[in-house]
Amino acid sequence: MKKAILIAVMLASTNVFAYDENPEHNFPTSDNKVSQTTITWISVDNVQARCESESRKRKFGGFGYAVEACSFWDKNDKGENVCTIVTGKATNMHTLGHETRHCFQGSWH
């Protein structure tokens, strides 16, 4: 019984984060929700705190798990697509690219 529970937990955990993190992996742009957006990039010392704050500001309730970066996409008062990316003050291209992809494809993983 314990073994079955352990396997179920492992599968659930894997499925929650089952997306390809290989930066060389191609993905279809046909999945884009938008083709144009305005991106604001905020770099901070405490990514977790800022991402939690940005999430709550949008009434999403926070993350409840550790994040290295985050992004939020919406429409502004004029109905234009806008996206906010939060990263640390030192980041890498993979993280920035990952969050930028969210700006165009929404919650793709």
pLDDT, tens digit, 9 for 90 and up, residues 37-62: 999 999 999 999 999 999 999 999 99
pLDDT at 15: 34
Within 13 A of 36's CA, how many CA atoms are on the CB side? 2
pLDDT at 20: 61
How much is the pTM?
0.78
Which pair of tokens denotes residue 95? Answer: 């993280």
Task: Give the Cα separation of 47 and 32 in Å (integer).
Answer: 26
pLDDT at 2: 45
Q: For the stretch 16-49, what's the b/e string if a residue is b when 16 or more beta carbons lie within 10 angstroms of its beta carbon?
A: eeeeeeeeeeeeeeeeeeeeebeeeeeeeeebbe
pLDDT at 11: 34
pLDDT at 66: 96
Q: Give the domain ranges of the chain.
A: 23-105
pLDDT at 19: 52
Residues of the chain with pLDDT under 50: 1-18
pLDDT at 24: 84
